[in-house]
Structure 1
Amino acid sequence: MKSIAVFCGSSNGASNIYIDSAKKLGKELAKRDITLVYGGASIGVMGAVADAVLGEGGQVIGIIPSFLEQREISHKRLSKLIVVDSMHERKAKMAELADGFVALPGGPGTLEEFFEIFTWAQLGLHQKPCGLLNINHYFDPLVELFNHMAKEQFLHEKYRSMALIDVEPNRLLEKFDSYEPPTIKTYMNEKQS
């Protein structure tokens, strides 16, 4: 795996554990010589993960829409900063450049980014691993929702298991290394095949 896109918040969160764990992930990415692809900001959890990768001599590619870059929150020390026109273009570029995707704690934008890329995997538009770094059990309610979706038969178990989840960055990245994507989703039932 050469690069991983990280979706995360531009806020620090309510506890230092979010920043500390983001730094831990950043150091692990640099240690494994994995390029970080992320939203390009210098603040919050986003800035922490980027600073950690850079601090360990790793490579960081930031992708930021011009309207955010103009507000001077873009990171000024990245290996490469790509300024795009829209949030849609940002997500498409991140998807293009990354070999896998990790969500760290964040708000609605982080979840929207993760769910879009997760859905694309479910539909077979890419075969890259998608994971949740479950810092401080932040994603426990989301994991319960996935379980509920599967129980109510709105999410097949083979797609439910596509969401790789761990509390430790090194273990999550090991799961990425052994990831095998499920077969592509179809809507044919057994009687039709």
Structure 2
Amino acid sequence: MLIRSICLYCGSNAGGDPVYAEAARTLGREAARRGVKLVYGGGSIGLMGAAADAALAGGGEVHGIIPEHLQRREVQNDAVTRMEVVGSMHERKMRMFDESDAFAILPGGLGTLDETFEILTWRQLGLHDKPVILVNVAGYWDALLAALGHMVRAGFVRPKHAALLSVVGRVEDLFPALELAPPPRPSDDIELA
């Protein structure tokens, strides 16, 4: 599958372990090296800033999308290739979706969870068939994956819907996993859980 742009969901904080920021920088560098546009939330701080700065340093294209009310809070990154200021979080998420061929999730907090589960729900509902890959850096997402497994066992999530979230252990495995992703197909058998 040809991926020309990837949306990154990740923390606007750096987290407590330097491995998280290094993973973000690796993702940014690798996107630039492969000529893949990085689409992200537009901030200059935390993992968001680390990924964007690394992509830019590597000569990559970076498209930031930030709502007006977060311009100061997330310290808008004025160095990006293109900065788009939108009116709301809802608009930000829709524009990030529109501009991306795939989604990568690095460690983050509540906003990252919100974005991840919304894009997965949209895929479950057949609104898109873009790859969604969670990068489980240093086991950060182990508890979330365990919770998702519990939801499947309890009968609230069908196994095929849980499988819509691909998981890799390292950023280095992200782009090869995208290259192996099956081509988009129509979703004729949408089942809601």
TM-score, normalised to structure 1, is 0.92
Are positions 1:18 and 2:12 aligned together? no
Question: What residue number does 1:191 align with?
Answer: none
Question: What residue number does 2:146 align with?
Answer: 144
Contiguous gaps of at least 5 residues in structure 2: none
Contiguous gaps of at least 5 residues in structure 1: 189-193
Alignment deviations for residues 100-148 of structure 1 (CA, whole Å, 9 cap, x no partner): 1111111111100010001101111001000111111100011111211
Question: What residue number does 1:164 align with?
Answer: 166
Question: What residue number does 2:85 align with?
Answer: 83
Larger radius of gyration: 1
Question: What residue number does 2:190 align with?
Answer: 186
Question: Secondary structure of 2:39's partner?
Answer: strand
**Which one of 33, 41, 51 corresponds to residue 39 of structure 1?**
41
Contact map agreement 1:122 1:185 (CA 8 A) in 2? no
2:111 is aligned with what amino acid? G
Q: 1:27 and 1:77, CA in 2 relative to 1: closer, same or farther beyond 3 A?
A: same
Question: What residue number does 2:179 align with?
Answer: 177
TM-score, normalised to structure 2, is 0.92
Contact map agreement 1:122 1:184 (CA 8 A) in 2? no
1:24 is aligned with what amino acid? T
Alignment deviations for residues 141-167 of structure 1 (CA, whole Å, 9 cap, x no partner): 111112112212222222211111112
2:57 is aligned with what amino acid? G
Question: Secondary structure of 1:128's partner?
Answer: coil
Aligned counterparts of 1:92 and 1:102: Cα–Cα separation in 2: 16
What fraction of aligned residue pairs are identical, expressed as a percent?
Answer: 43
Alpha-carbon shift at residue 170 of structure 1 (Å):
2.8
Question: What residue number does 1:135 align with?
Answer: 137
Q: Where has structure 1 moved over 6 Å in runs of 4 or more?
A: none
Matches within 5 A, 1:82-121: 82-121=84-123
Greater alpha carbon shift after TM alignment, 172-181 vs 47-56: 172-181
- Cα RMSD for the two superposed structures: 1.6
Alpha-carbon shift at residue 57 of structure 1 (Å):
0.4
Contact map agreement 1:66 1:84 (CA 8 A) in 2? yes
Aligned counterparts of 2:5 and 2:80: Cα–Cα separation in 1: 15
